[in-house]
Protein backbone atom coordinates (compact mmCIF):
# COMPACT_ATOMS: atom_id res chain seq x y z
CA UNK A 1 0.00 0.00 0.00
CA UNK A 2 2.81 2.39 0.88
CA UNK A 3 4.27 2.07 -2.61
CA UNK A 4 1.12 3.45 -4.19
CA UNK A 5 0.47 7.16 -4.56
CA UNK A 6 -2.96 8.43 -3.54
CA UNK A 7 -4.88 11.61 -4.30
CA UNK A 8 -8.04 12.68 -2.50
CA UNK A 9 -10.58 14.47 -4.71
CA UNK A 10 -13.63 16.15 -3.19
CA UNK A 11 -16.39 16.88 -5.73
CA UNK A 12 -18.27 20.02 -4.64
CA UNK A 13 -21.17 21.43 -6.63
CA UNK A 14 -22.87 24.71 -5.73
CA UNK A 15 -26.32 23.77 -7.02
CA UNK A 16 -28.41 21.52 -4.81
CA UNK A 17 -32.15 21.04 -4.81
CA UNK A 18 -32.38 20.68 -1.05
CA UNK A 19 -29.47 22.89 -0.02
CA UNK A 20 -28.06 25.36 -2.60
CA UNK A 21 -24.55 26.55 -1.79
CA UNK A 22 -24.02 23.73 0.70
CA UNK A 23 -20.19 23.56 0.41
CA UNK A 24 -19.97 27.20 1.55
CA UNK A 25 -22.35 26.82 4.48
CA UNK A 26 -20.68 27.80 7.75
CA UNK A 27 -20.11 25.13 10.36
CA UNK A 28 -18.73 26.99 13.33
CA UNK A 29 -15.93 29.24 12.13
CA UNK A 30 -15.22 27.32 8.91
CA UNK A 31 -17.11 26.43 5.75
CA UNK A 32 -18.18 22.85 5.32
CA UNK A 33 -15.80 22.31 2.41
CA UNK A 34 -12.86 23.58 4.50
CA UNK A 35 -13.69 21.15 7.30
CA UNK A 36 -13.83 18.23 4.88
CA UNK A 37 -10.59 19.32 3.21
CA UNK A 38 -8.72 19.62 6.50
CA UNK A 39 -9.90 16.22 7.75
CA UNK A 40 -8.81 14.54 4.53
CA UNK A 41 -5.46 16.34 4.63
CA UNK A 42 -4.72 14.61 7.94
CA UNK A 43 -4.22 11.43 5.91
CA UNK A 44 -3.42 12.43 2.33
CA UNK A 45 -0.67 14.75 1.12
CA UNK A 46 -2.48 15.54 -2.15
CA UNK A 47 -6.07 16.80 -1.88
CA UNK A 48 -8.08 18.65 -4.54
CA UNK A 49 -11.60 20.10 -4.55
CA UNK A 50 -13.32 19.56 -7.91
CA UNK A 51 -16.00 22.20 -8.35
CA UNK A 52 -18.21 23.76 -11.00
CA UNK A 53 -18.52 27.15 -9.30
CA UNK A 54 -15.97 29.95 -8.93
CA UNK A 55 -17.31 30.88 -5.49
CA UNK A 56 -16.25 27.50 -4.17
CA UNK A 57 -12.94 27.73 -6.02
CA UNK A 58 -12.16 31.09 -4.43
CA UNK A 59 -13.22 29.92 -0.97
CA UNK A 60 -10.90 26.90 -1.12
CA UNK A 61 -7.99 28.96 -2.38
CA UNK A 62 -8.63 31.50 0.39
CA UNK A 63 -7.90 28.94 3.12
CA UNK A 64 -4.86 27.65 1.24
CA UNK A 65 -6.44 24.60 -0.35
CA UNK A 66 -6.18 23.33 -3.91
CA UNK A 67 -9.25 23.51 -6.16
CA UNK A 68 -9.93 23.10 -9.86
CA UNK A 69 -12.86 24.07 -12.07
CA UNK A 70 -14.67 21.21 -13.79
CA UNK A 71 -17.62 20.90 -16.14
CA UNK A 72 -21.14 21.52 -14.78
CA UNK A 73 -22.46 18.67 -16.92
CA UNK A 74 -21.05 15.62 -15.14
CA UNK A 75 -23.48 12.82 -14.26
CA UNK A 76 -21.72 12.01 -11.00
CA UNK A 77 -18.87 12.83 -8.67
CA UNK A 78 -16.94 9.94 -10.21
CA UNK A 79 -16.90 11.66 -13.60
CA UNK A 80 -15.90 14.95 -11.94
CA UNK A 81 -13.00 13.21 -10.18
CA UNK A 82 -11.51 12.06 -13.46
CA UNK A 83 -11.62 15.53 -15.00
CA UNK A 84 -10.04 17.03 -11.89
CA UNK A 85 -7.28 14.39 -11.89
CA UNK A 86 -6.39 15.25 -15.48
CA UNK A 87 -6.65 19.02 -15.01
CA UNK A 88 -4.22 19.14 -12.09
CA UNK A 89 -1.79 16.81 -13.89
CA UNK A 90 -1.88 14.27 -11.08
CA UNK A 91 0.35 11.19 -11.17
CA UNK A 92 -1.30 9.23 -8.37
CA UNK A 93 -2.04 5.51 -8.76
CA UNK A 94 -5.30 5.64 -6.81
CA UNK A 95 -8.03 8.30 -6.69
CA UNK A 96 -10.09 8.55 -3.49
CA UNK A 97 -13.49 10.17 -4.04
CA UNK A 98 -14.58 11.91 -0.82
CA UNK A 99 -18.06 13.28 -0.18
CA UNK A 100 -18.01 17.06 0.24
CA UNK A 101 -20.85 17.04 2.77
CA UNK A 102 -19.16 14.83 5.41
CA UNK A 103 -17.37 17.41 7.63
CA UNK A 104 -16.83 14.82 10.39
CA UNK A 105 -15.30 12.16 8.15
CA UNK A 106 -13.02 9.99 10.27
CA UNK A 107 -9.41 9.66 9.06
CA UNK A 108 -9.68 5.92 9.81
CA UNK A 109 -12.25 5.64 7.03
CA UNK A 110 -9.76 6.94 4.49
CA UNK A 111 -7.03 4.67 5.81
CA UNK A 112 -9.32 1.65 5.65
CA UNK A 113 -10.25 2.22 2.02
CA UNK A 114 -6.56 2.70 1.23
CA UNK A 115 -5.88 -0.60 2.95
CA UNK A 116 -8.04 -2.38 0.38
CA UNK A 117 -5.26 -1.80 -2.14
CA UNK A 118 -2.89 -4.07 -0.23
CA UNK A 119 -4.55 -6.64 -2.47
CA UNK A 120 -3.07 -6.23 -5.92
CA UNK A 121 -6.30 -7.36 -7.56
CA UNK A 122 -8.31 -4.50 -6.01
CA UNK A 123 -9.45 -2.08 -8.71
CA UNK A 124 -12.29 -0.30 -6.86
CA UNK A 125 -12.85 -0.04 -3.10
CA UNK A 126 -15.50 1.37 -0.81
CA UNK A 127 -16.66 1.27 2.82
CA UNK A 128 -19.57 -0.25 4.69
CA UNK A 129 -20.79 0.18 8.25
CA UNK A 130 -22.34 -2.64 10.32
CA UNK A 131 -25.92 -1.73 11.13
CA UNK A 132 -26.45 -1.56 14.87
CA UNK A 133 -29.07 -4.24 15.72
CA UNK A 134 -30.34 -2.02 18.53
CA UNK A 135 -31.48 0.55 15.96
CA UNK A 136 -35.09 0.37 14.72
CA UNK A 137 -36.04 -1.30 11.46
CA UNK A 138 -37.34 2.04 10.13
CA UNK A 139 -33.77 3.33 9.97
CA UNK A 140 -32.63 0.25 8.06
CA UNK A 141 -35.53 0.61 5.64
CA UNK A 142 -34.69 4.24 4.77
CA UNK A 143 -34.07 4.23 0.97
CA UNK A 144 -31.61 7.11 1.34
CA UNK A 145 -29.31 4.66 3.14
CA UNK A 146 -28.17 2.03 0.63
CA UNK A 147 -27.62 -1.49 1.93
CA UNK A 148 -24.81 -3.83 0.90
CA UNK A 149 -24.27 -7.58 0.89
CA UNK A 150 -20.66 -8.77 1.01
CA UNK A 151 -19.10 -12.03 -0.16
CA UNK A 152 -16.62 -14.17 1.76
CA UNK A 153 -13.91 -12.82 -0.55
CA UNK A 154 -14.46 -9.29 0.79
CA UNK A 155 -16.12 -8.01 -2.37
CA UNK A 156 -19.56 -6.46 -2.62
CA UNK A 157 -22.27 -8.73 -3.98
CA UNK A 158 -25.02 -6.15 -4.35
CA UNK A 159 -26.04 -2.64 -3.32
CA UNK A 160 -29.70 -1.70 -2.97
CA UNK A 161 -31.97 0.93 -1.52
CA UNK A 162 -34.19 -1.97 -0.47
CA UNK A 163 -33.35 -3.97 2.63
CA UNK A 164 -31.02 -6.82 1.69
CA UNK A 165 -30.90 -9.64 2.57
CA UNK A 166 -34.55 -10.52 3.05
CA UNK A 167 -35.03 -12.36 6.36
CA UNK A 168 -37.53 -15.11 5.81
CA UNK A 169 -39.86 -16.19 8.60
CA UNK A 170 -39.26 -13.21 10.89
CA UNK A 171 -41.25 -10.05 11.53
CA UNK A 172 -39.55 -7.04 9.98
CA UNK A 173 -39.15 -5.44 13.40
CA UNK A 174 -36.92 -8.42 14.28
CA UNK A 175 -34.73 -8.22 11.18
CA UNK A 176 -31.95 -5.99 12.61
CA UNK A 177 -31.17 -8.60 15.28
CA UNK A 178 -31.75 -11.61 13.00
CA UNK A 179 -28.69 -11.11 10.78
CA UNK A 180 -25.88 -8.63 10.24
CA UNK A 181 -26.85 -5.85 7.86
CA UNK A 182 -24.37 -3.42 6.31
CA UNK A 183 -25.04 0.12 5.14
CA UNK A 184 -22.95 1.90 2.55
CA UNK A 185 -20.55 4.75 3.31
CA UNK A 186 -20.22 6.79 0.13
CA UNK A 187 -16.43 6.83 -0.05
CA UNK A 188 -14.84 5.31 -3.15
CA UNK A 189 -11.31 4.67 -4.36
CA UNK A 190 -10.26 3.59 -7.85
CA UNK A 191 -7.04 2.79 -9.63
CA UNK A 192 -6.71 5.46 -12.28
CA UNK A 193 -6.92 3.11 -15.25
CA UNK A 194 -10.12 1.61 -13.82
CA UNK A 195 -11.56 5.09 -13.21
CA UNK A 196 -11.06 5.86 -16.90
CA UNK A 197 -12.84 2.65 -17.85
CA UNK A 198 -15.89 2.98 -15.60
CA UNK A 199 -16.56 6.61 -16.51
CA UNK A 200 -16.75 5.55 -20.17
CA UNK A 201 -19.47 2.96 -19.48
CA UNK A 202 -23.09 3.73 -20.35
CA UNK A 203 -25.55 3.78 -17.48
CA UNK A 204 -26.84 0.30 -16.71
CA UNK A 205 -30.32 -1.06 -16.10
CA UNK A 206 -29.72 -1.60 -12.38
CA UNK A 207 -28.13 1.82 -11.97
CA UNK A 208 -31.09 3.55 -13.59
CA UNK A 209 -33.56 1.58 -11.46
CA UNK A 210 -31.90 2.33 -8.11
CA UNK A 211 -29.96 5.52 -8.92
CA UNK A 212 -26.76 3.95 -7.58
CA UNK A 213 -23.80 4.33 -9.93
CA UNK A 214 -21.85 1.47 -8.33
CA UNK A 215 -24.41 -0.95 -9.78
CA UNK A 216 -23.15 0.03 -13.25
CA UNK A 217 -19.71 -1.20 -12.29
CA UNK A 218 -20.97 -4.46 -10.82
CA UNK A 219 -23.25 -5.10 -13.78
CA UNK A 220 -20.27 -4.69 -16.10
CA UNK A 221 -18.18 -7.24 -14.20
CA UNK A 222 -16.04 -5.01 -11.97
CA UNK A 223 -15.38 -6.19 -8.41
CA UNK A 224 -15.71 -3.69 -5.56
CA UNK A 225 -13.55 -4.44 -2.53
CA UNK A 226 -15.22 -3.59 0.77
CA UNK A 227 -13.70 -2.41 4.04
CA UNK A 228 -15.77 -2.39 7.22
CA UNK A 229 -15.63 0.70 9.40
CA UNK A 230 -17.88 1.50 12.35
CA UNK A 231 -16.98 5.17 12.80
CA UNK A 232 -20.07 7.40 12.90
CA UNK A 233 -20.36 10.21 10.37
CA UNK A 234 -22.94 12.89 9.66
CA UNK A 235 -23.88 13.66 6.09
CA UNK A 236 -25.41 17.09 5.56
CA UNK A 237 -28.16 17.15 2.96
CA UNK A 238 -30.44 19.91 4.28
CA UNK A 239 -30.26 23.09 6.39
CA UNK A 240 -31.78 21.06 9.24
CA UNK A 241 -28.85 18.63 9.02
CA UNK A 242 -26.47 21.59 9.22
CA UNK A 243 -28.19 22.87 12.34
CA UNK A 244 -27.80 19.46 13.97
CA UNK A 245 -24.13 19.36 12.95
CA UNK A 246 -23.54 22.79 14.48
CA UNK A 247 -25.03 21.58 17.77
CA UNK A 248 -22.75 18.53 17.69
CA UNK A 249 -19.73 20.72 16.99
CA UNK A 250 -20.59 23.03 19.88
CA UNK A 251 -21.11 20.08 22.20
CA UNK A 252 -17.71 18.65 21.28
CA UNK A 253 -15.98 22.02 21.70
CA UNK A 254 -17.50 22.41 25.15
CA UNK A 255 -16.85 18.83 26.28
Q: What per-residue confidence (pLDDT) applies to 243?
A: 82
Does residue 200 register a pLDDT over 70? yes
Q: What is the pLDDT of residues 128-149, one digit of tens each?
A: 999 999 999 999 999 989 999 9
> Contact, 19 vs 239, CB < 8 A?
yes
At residue 255, the pLDDT reads: 45
Q: Is 10 in a helix, a strand, or coil? A: strand
Q: In the 8-state DSSP scheme, what is residue 43?
A: T
> What's the average model confidence in pLDDT over 5-28?
89
**Which domains, ranges and CATH numbers included, belong to the chain?**
6-244 (3.90.550.10)
pLDDT top residue among 223 and 242 = 223
Helix (H, G, I), strand (E, B) or coil at 172: helix
More confident: 241 or 225: 225
Residues 37, 228: Cα–Cα separation, whole Å: 23
Q: Is the peptide bond before 165 cis (omega within 30 degrees of 0)?
A: yes
- The angle subtended at Cα 147 by Cα 81 and Cα 199, nearest 5°, is 25
The answer, yes or no, to whether residue 1 has pLDDT greater than 80, is: no
Residue 124 predicted with pLDDT over 50: yes
Q: How many CB atoms lie within 10 A of CB 18?
A: 10
Q: How distant is the alpha carbon of residue 10 from its chain centre?
A: 9
Position 156 pLDDT exceeds 70: yes
Q: Could you report the per-residue pLDDT of 99-112, keeping only the tens digit for each?
A: 988 888 999 999 99
Helix H segments across the chain?
Answer: 32-41, 54-62, 77-87, 107-115, 137-141, 175-178, 192-199, 205-210, 214-219, 239-254
Give the model's pLDDT for residue 95. 98
Largest CA distance in the chain: 58
Provide, rounded to the nearest whole percent, the portion of the chain with pLDDT above 70.
97
Angle at 32 between CA 145 and CA 16, to 5 degrees: 60
Give the integer Cα–Cα distance in Å for 162 and 133: 17
Predicted pLDDT at 129: 96
Amino acid sequence: MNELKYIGIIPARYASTRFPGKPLAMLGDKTMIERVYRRVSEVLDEVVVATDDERILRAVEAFGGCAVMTSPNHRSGTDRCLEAYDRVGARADVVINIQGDEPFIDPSQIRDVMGCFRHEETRIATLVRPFDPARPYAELENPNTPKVTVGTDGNALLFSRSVIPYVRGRERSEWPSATQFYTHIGLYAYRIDTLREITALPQSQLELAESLEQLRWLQNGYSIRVAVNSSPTIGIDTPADLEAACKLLNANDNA
